[in-house]
Amino acid sequence: MLRKEQNDMLTQTGPGTPMGNLFRHYWIPMLHAEELPENDYAPVRVKLLSERLVAFRDTNGRCGLIDEFCPHRGASLWFGRNEECGLRCPYHGWKFDVEGNCMEVPSEPTESGYAKKIKLTSYPVVKRGDVLFTYMGPPDKQPPLPEWEFCTVKPEQTFTSKRLQECNWLQSMEGGIDSSHVS
Ligand code: FES
């Protein structure tokens, strides 16, 4: 039986935790590709490693994963309008691209350069097979793209499904490798 401190250390994965740092060295599956089916589709909430984020696919088909909350007054960008290559905050209209760069602050003239000083946390997104993966770690430590077989075979040779399991990663893994479940 684990002590509470051991359990916390193994299961907590937020920023700055030991296991959070470890997980942030890998590409992490974040959505089924079907969940962002077309350009300018409604944004999707994603909670990964205790970070609340929002994913969207822009007008040019680029997928992004950015902080869910607008840096102005904290409105949720999940309610935002996905339009013309960016996600526009529903409150005062600040607009962000897939890399978290602020494209526009409607109350400020473009020449002021104000928008250029604003950036949201953002993570790269890649599609491998039917899965969208993200990498949340230091850019200089980014590993090669996932090359599992299901990512590389033809679409008719693979099947991807997703389910929600309300537990931590260790409970899930422990259940998955429990030999009594094989039968
Ligand atoms: S809260 Fe987003 S623009 Fe003001």
Q: With respect to residue 143, please indicate whether it lies within any of the assigned structural domains.
A: yes
The ligand 1 atom at the shortest distance from the C-alpha of residue 77 is: 2
Give the ranges where the chain is alpha helix by DSSP (H): 4-11, 18-23, 149-152, 169-177
pLDDT at position 181, please?
A: 81
End-to-end CA distance of the chain: 25
Among 66, 72, 77, 107, which is best to mutate for testing ligand 1, by the most ligand atoms less than 8 A from CB? Answer: 72
Q: With respect to residue 8, please indicate whether it lies within any of the assigned structural domains.
A: no
| Ligand 1 pocket member 72 (CB < 6 A) | yes
Q: With respect to residue 9, please indicate whether it lies within any of the assigned structural domains.
A: no
Question: Which residues of the chain fall below pLDDT 50?
Answer: none
pTM: 0.93
Among 66, 73, 107, which is best to mutate for testing ligand 1, by the most ligand atoms less than 8 A from CB? Answer: 73
Q: With respect to residue 19, please indicate whether it lies within any of the assigned structural domains.
A: no
- Residue 156 CA to residue 69 CA, distance in Å, equals 38
DSSP state of 152: H
Q: With respect to residue 112, please indicate whether it lies within any of the assigned structural domains.
A: yes
Q: With respect to residue 97, please indicate whether it lies within any of the assigned structural domains.
A: yes
- Which domain CATH number covers 109? 2.102.10.10
* Domain ranges, residue 33: 26-174
pLDDT at position 183, please?
A: 77
- 51 Cβ contact list (under 8 Å, min separation 6): 14, 15, 67, 121, 136
Q: With respect to residue 114, please indicate whether it lies within any of the assigned structural domains.
A: yes
Structure tokens at 73: 């007054």
Ligand 1 atom 1: the closest Cα is on which residue?
73
Phi and psi based region of residue 129 (left: phi greater than 0; alpha: psi -120 to 50; beta: remaining): left
pLDDT tens column, 18-62: 999 999 999 999 999 999 999 999 999 999 999 999 999 999 999
How many domains does the structure of the chain reveal? 1
Find the 76 Cα to ligand 1 centroid distance in Å.
Answer: 9
| Ligand 1 pocket member 25 (CB < 6 A) | no
Q: With respect to residue 5, please indicate whether it lies within any of the assigned structural domains.
A: no
